[in-house]
Amino acid sequence: MLELTDAARVTAGIVLLSVVGIESGGAFLVTVVTGRAPATRFQTSFFRAGHAHAGVLVVLGLVSLLLTEATDLAGFWRWLAATGVLVAAILLPAGFFLSAAGTGREAPGRAVVLLPVGAVVLAAGVVTLGVGLLRG
């Protein structure tokens, strides 16, 4: 049986509860793609990308959290391996959603800066975890 540290157990519980938020984002997306909520083509594509990134990264983040328990990483490196993907699961969707917010928007707003930041955090998290797992 896999034993989780208290930190990993609490983090996993909180992340699982966040899925309800992702579901409500999906409900909003349905109103957009069915034309019940006004949105430009740009907004629709960014809303779709934000929703997809949120769902995929939460699942990958939970897997990363579990896999970190199998490493001997410590301190900052353990935190990065365990939660880097989960931090990216906040930054990347926020970048898509916030940069598309506003009536009739046809191009990304300032929040688009969150996309490369989230990508760097995602890469740092998975590389750290991968190296930690390969080190045994």
Residue 1 lies in a domain: no
Q: Tell me the residue range of the domain where 20 lies.
A: 6-135
Q: How many domains does the chain have?
A: 1
- Three-class SS string for 24-56? HHHHHHHHHHCCCCCCCHHHHHHHHHHHHHHHH
Residue 59 lies in a domain: yes
What is the radius of gyration, based on Cα positions, of the chain?
17
pLDDT at position 73, please? 97
List, for residues 44-65, the tens digit of each pLDDT value. 999 999 999 999 999 999 999 9
**Global pTM value:** 0.94
Whether 28 contacts 101, CB under 8 Å: no
Residue 75 lies in a domain: yes
List, for residues 62-94, the tens digit of each pLDDT value. 999 999 999 999 999 999 999 999 999 999 999
Residue 81 lies in a domain: yes
* Rounded distance between C-alpha atoms, residue 64 and residue 129, angstroms: 7
Whether 58 contacts 22, CB under 8 Å: yes
Find how far residue 76's CA is from the centre of its chain: 20
Place 3 in a pLDDT band, splitting at 50, 70 and 90.
Answer: confident
Residue 40 lies in a domain: yes
User: What's the mean pLDDT in 91-100?
Assistant: 98
pLDDT at position 68, please? 97
Residue 95 lies in a domain: yes
Terminal-residue alpha carbon distance, the chain: 19
* Rounded distance between C-alpha atoms, residue 110 and residue 99, angstroms: 6
Residue 93 lies in a domain: yes
pLDDT at position 8, please? 95
